Structure 1
Amino acid sequence: MTHGCLKCLKYTMCVANFLCFMCGVAVLGFGVFMMVNFKVTHSLTPTLANLNLANMLLISGIIISCVSFLGFLGALKENRCLLMTFFLMLFFLLVVELTAACLLLLYEHDIADWVESDLNKGLKEAKGNHTDVFRSEWDLVQKTFDCCGVHNASDWGDNVPVSCCLNDCTGSQIPKYRSTGCLDKMRSWFEENFLNTGISIIVLCIIEVLGMCFAMTLFCHISRSGLGYKL
């Protein structure tokens, strides 16, 4: 009976980690696709210039693929070394996620002030460059969040982009701009999705804890039975 349960646990780990590995490869591939096909400027947040969506997808895909591959191979081959490495990597990721969540809660106001300062810096750089390519990120954000500038349209001065317009800015009519700044819109969006984000983090932590429990259970069984590779 016990042997059957452990065999079921082994193949459950194999299937779960294989699915996670495929998801990681898909995320990695999508990140490469975005990096190759979309030219990204960094005028929105200059300080976080290298943390664009494509790079974040690449990093996430690599981490998911490597960790899940270790879990899959360790369970399939009943390799104690790989199972322990899988357990330690999950534990490290769990600690990093919980630490980041705590820091975000503790320094919420400082982070908000820093984001505002960085957005102002990015908008200042965008104002000094009149090419559409350089403003692509601001145009995307302003159209997506139905906003204009950091606080309002006056942030752009006399060079308000078309993405701020509510009517035809190129015609003879007096242009009407979006009244709400992107900082307030983004803050409202994060507040509205705070619960969903929290639930996602909790679910991710539960999955990681289950993976750690499964790996340690299989590791202990292999140690007691004398099977698998030694550490």
Structure 2
Amino acid sequence: MTHRCLKCLKYTMCVANFLCFMSGVAVMGFGVFLMVNFKLTALTPSLAKFNIANMLLISGIIIACVSFLGFLGALKENRCLLLTFFLLLFFLLLVELIAACLLLLYEQTISEWVERDLNNGLKEANGSHADKFHSEWDLVQKMFDCCGVHNVSDWGVNVPDSCCLQDCADLQDRQYRPMGCLDKMRSWFEENFLTAGISVIVLCIIEVLGMCFAMTLFCHISRSGLGYKF
């Protein structure tokens, strides 16, 4: 009976890690797609390396590598791979908890940092490379139904068409989007805060279950004298 349960645990780990590996590959592919088609580097110049596309690419690589390690370790009943998988999951869990605590503790500082970076990005968009950067701001302003960082006055005299509520052809009756992108982004994060929190909790539970499964299989292999020995 115990042997059957452990066999079931082994193949459950294999299937779960394979699904996670495919999810990681999908996330990585989506990140590459965003990097090629949406290079949002003008919004936050100092945070350009930490944009959504790069974060998705890095997350996809990490998920794919860790899940492949767990899949191979469970399939081959390799103690070394299972222990490495356990340690990597433990490390990722610690990083996620630390990051969540830092975001809560330094929420105001991060908000001021993003605001300052958005202002710098808008200044660059009004500079010599306006055509290159306007397209990025147009995308965000249409997506969030906003204009400028705080309001339309941030653009000065070079107000892009994406700030208009309707047609910008009529110069006299132009109506601009009333809210700035900073306030819209804050509202969007506040509305999705509960969803993000639940997602993080579910992710942590999955990681803890993966650690428990890996350690259970590791101990069974050690007691049975199977797998590679250190």
- TM-score if structure 1 supplies the norm length? 0.95
Deviations 1:89-130 (A, max 9, x none): 000100000000000000111111111111111111111146
In 2, Cα distance between the equivalents of 1:104 and 1:181? 23
Deviation at 1:131?
4.0
Deviation at 1:30?
2.5
**Counterpart code for 1:77:** K
Deviations 1:67-99 (A, max 9, x none): 000000000000000000000000010000000
Aligned positions of 1:82-231 closer than 5 A: 82-129=81-128, 131-231=130-230
Q: Who is 2:67 aligned against?
A: 68
In 1, Cα distance between the equivalents of 2:208 and 2:38? 38
In 2, Cα distance between the equivalents of 1:4 and 1:42? 53
Contact 1:42–1:49 (8 Å) recurs in 2: yes
**Counterpart code for 2:10:** K
Q: Who is 2:25 aligned against?
A: 25
Question: Where do 5+ consecutive residues of structure 2 fail to align?
Answer: none
Contact 2:221–2:227 (8 Å) recurs in 1: yes
Deviation at 1:134?
1.7
Contact 2:21–2:63 (8 Å) recurs in 1: yes
Runs of 4+ in 1 over 4 A off after TM superposition: none
Deviation at 1:215?
0.1
Segment of structure 1 superposing worse, 41-50 or 102-111? 41-50
Instruction: Indicate the percent of aligned positions where both proteins have the same amino acid.
Output: 80
Partner SS, residue 3 of structure 1: helix
In 1, Cα distance between the equivalents of 2:166 and 2:113? 33
In 1, Cα distance between the equivalents of 2:38 and 2:191? 30
In 1, Cα distance between the equivalents of 2:120 and 2:11? 52
**Counterpart code for 1:221:** H
Segment of structure 1 superposing worse, 204-213 or 19-28? 19-28
Residue 16 in structure 1 maps to residue 37 in structure 2: no
**Counterpart code for 1:217:** T
Deviations 1:157-187 (A, max 9, x none): 0110100001321235431111111111110
Deviation at 1:196?
0.3
- TM-score if structure 2 supplies the norm length? 0.96
Question: Where do 5+ consecutive residues of structure 1 fail to align?
Answer: none
Partner SS, residue 174 of structure 1: coil
Deviation at 1:136?
1.9
Backbone CA RMSD of aligned residues: 1.3
**Counterpart code for 2:2:** T
